[in-house]
Amino acid sequence: MADVGNLPVEVSGLVGRGPEVRAGLRLLAHARLVTVTGPAGVGKSRVAIRIAESSRRRLPGGAWYAELSEAAPPGDPAAADPRAALRAAAHAVAAALRGPGGDRPGIRAPGAADGPADRPADVPPDGPLPAFPEWAGEVAGEVTGPLAEAVADAIGDARALVLLDTCEHLGEAAGALVVALLRAAPRLRVVATSRRPLGLPGERVLAVAPLPLDEAVELLRERGQAADPGFTLTTRTLPAARELCRRLDGLPLAIELAAARLRSLTVRELLARLDDRFELLAGVIRTPLARHQGLRAALDWSHELCDPRQRLLWARLSVLSGVFTVADAERACAGGGLPREAVAPALAGLVAASIVVRSGTRHRMLETFRRYGALRLRELGEAGRAGPVPAAAPDLAPSLPSGAEPPSDQLADPARLAPPAIGTLSERQLQVARLISEGLSNPMIAERLAIARRTVDAHVRNILAKAGLTSRAQVATWLAAEYPPASDPESQKTA
């Protein structure tokens, strides 16, 4: 049987993501709605498309794709009215099911090919389908009728799947759209992508995280070779590639944008320019979706979907790096338009939107998101803002997971925390500190200075202890405050 549907053709391989795809297929076997969530640039669409593609041969009614970012996008008048947003989204789905010409013949699978034994339940495991929302009642006729007709023409009563890509901007209209689809076809499954769950009964959520480092490096290698067939990773360039992927947070979009720059820059040159990542990784890939053409564009989309207090908190959280608590955020960010009691709800909103990552009582922001927040902080005229030392930091540090940084690490102005200690550093420690300030990892420093990795590890521990700092991120600011730049031939050796 030929594949049925309109899924996008994958023009490049999917690196990694096997566990996520398998998890999505397991969820889809027991639920009618699976929402793939995650931060901007993490690859939600690619994972969802692969899940749909892997399901398609078992779906006589096919697997169908509808891209919804142009349906009531932020700034569009329809975005402020959920009824208008619902109409726009339903129209986009119906158009996708009918095809580019709008009149493609329907594809109906005969009931005999999809016997009763294979029928999924007509209700999700957790209970009956929710009712079509009351607020959408006045547009129900404009939505449910045409949508049901398009679904019937495309899939009949066969088992099928519809992938709704990019739902986060639709708000409650996304939920109403899913309800209309599920009610139109009792044997239909829906996979949605969104930076936050849709919040419907029976929904299953598949959270997609950034790539592990090894897979991120493999993605850089593969996309780098596509951009420049002569590109290779060697034992000399691999440490820089690993550091580049680490500093890009393992975000596939950022790594693919960086790989496109390998036509004109080396990995080391990319790494050296990464402090200006939003300019560096802009306009290097042409796609139909503007938000995928640059790293800043992707984060601008997330920013536009936040409410004013969430935007303000995102900007002010950029003074923190690594792990922080709600109390730390309140001390660092409250005031000036953001009451202390509003910090926790705004933070919860950022977590729900995949902008801040929460683990128990600890929170953190990916470096890329933190740097974006810093840009917004400068636009607000608060670039000099610095949070106070978290009062709870000494008590919280022992309870952090191994390798995590305590909340006191997260201050915008490390020079205010540490006593002048530059005179206590040895010449070699000064060299190491300068290289830390340049963004080099311990393996890269070991290679640059031709010393053992364990020696570098020891130097880093001593530097932080002597300076009274708790993270590498603080070293550059502290070093600039305590010791002006000077010529250091050894630290300038090329690998």
Pick the more confident residue, 113 or 29. 29
Q: What is the CA radius of gyration of the chain?
A: 25
Pick the more confident residue, 324 or 387. 324
Query: For residue 58, what are its two tokens?
Result: 């078992």
Query: For residue 384, what are its two tokens?
Result: 């000099």
What does the pLDDT look like over 8-42, one tens digit per residue?
888 788 898 899 999 999 999 989 999 999 999 99
pLDDT at 306 over 50: yes
Query: For residue 210, what are its two tokens?
Result: 């950034």
Pick the more confident residue, 124 or 153. 153
Spatial separation of the C-alpha atoms in residues 136 and 81, rounded to whole Å: 10
Query: For residue 321, what are its two tokens?
Result: 């790096």
pLDDT confidence of 399, banded at 50, 70, 90? Answer: very low
pLDDT confidence of 135, banded at 50, 70, 90? Answer: confident
HEC profile of the chain: CCCCECCCCCCCCCCCCHHHHHHHHHHHCCCCEEEEECCCCCCHHHHHHHHHHHHHCCCCCCEEEEECCCCCCCCCHHHHCHHHHHHHHHHHHHHHHHCCCCCCCCCCCCHHHCCHHHCCCCCCCCCCCCCCCHHHHHHHHHHHHHHHHHHHHHHCCCCEEEEEECCHHHCHHHHHHHHHHHHHCCCEEEEEECCCCCCCCCCEEEECCCCCHHHHHHHHHHHHHHHCCCCCCCCCCHHHHHHHHHHCCCCHHHHHHHHHHHHCCCHHHHHHCHHHHHHHCECCCCCCCHHHCEHHHHHHHHHHCCCHHHHHHHHHHCCCCCCECHHHHHHHHCCCCCCHHHHHHHHHHHHHCCCCEEECCEEECCHHHHHHHHHHHHHCCCCCCCCCCCCCHHHHHHHCCCCCCCHHHCCCCHHHCCCCCHHHCCHHHHHHHHHHHCCCCHHHHHHHHCCCHHHHHHHHHHHHHHHCCCCHHHHHHHHHHHCCCCCCHHHHCCC
pLDDT at 323: 85
Angle at 449 between CA 444 and CA 454, to 5 degrees: 65
pLDDT confidence of 117, banded at 50, 70, 90? Answer: very low
pLDDT at 274: 87
Give 227's contacts (C-beta < 8 A, 6+ positions apart): 259, 260, 261, 262, 263
Q: Give the dihedral of Cα atoms 168, 171, 174, 179; nearest 10 deg.
A: 140
pLDDT at 461: 84
pLDDT at 386: 54
What does the pLDDT look like over 56-77, one tens digit per residue?
888 899 999 999 988 888 777 7
pLDDT confidence of 327, banded at 50, 70, 90? Answer: very high
Q: What is the mean pLDDT of residues 470-490?
A: 59
Q: Is 10 exposed, middle or buried (0-12, 13-18, 19+ CB in 10 A)?
A: exposed
Q: What is the mean pLDDT of residues 184-199?
A: 92
Q: Say if CB 12 and CB 58 are below 8 A apart.
A: no
Q: Which region among 112-121, 335-344, 352-361 has the lowest average model confidence (pLDDT)?
A: 112-121
Say which amino acid occupies 385: R
pLDDT confidence of 480, banded at 50, 70, 90? Answer: low
C-alpha separations of 380 from 304, 320, 337 in Å: 15, 17, 12
pLDDT at 120 over 50: no
pLDDT at 381 over 50: yes
pLDDT at 84 over 50: yes
Q: What is the mean pLDDT of residues 301-329?
A: 91
**Residue 263 neighbours by CB distance under 10 Å:** 11
Q: Maximum distance among all alpha carbons in the chain? A: 83
Q: Which region among 210-219, 372-381, 426-435 has the lowest average model confidence (pLDDT)?
A: 426-435
Q: Report if pTM > 0.85.
A: no
Contacts 24+ apart (CB under 8 A), 487-493: 488/430, 488/431, 488/434, 490/431, 490/449, 491/431, 491/434, 491/435, 491/448, 491/449, 493/448, 493/449
pLDDT at 452: 87
pLDDT at 316: 94
What does the pLDDT look like over 225-267, one tens digit per residue?
998 898 988 888 899 999 999 999 999 999 999 999 998 899 9
What does the pLDDT look like over 137-162, one tens digit per residue?
778 877 888 888 888 888 888 899 99
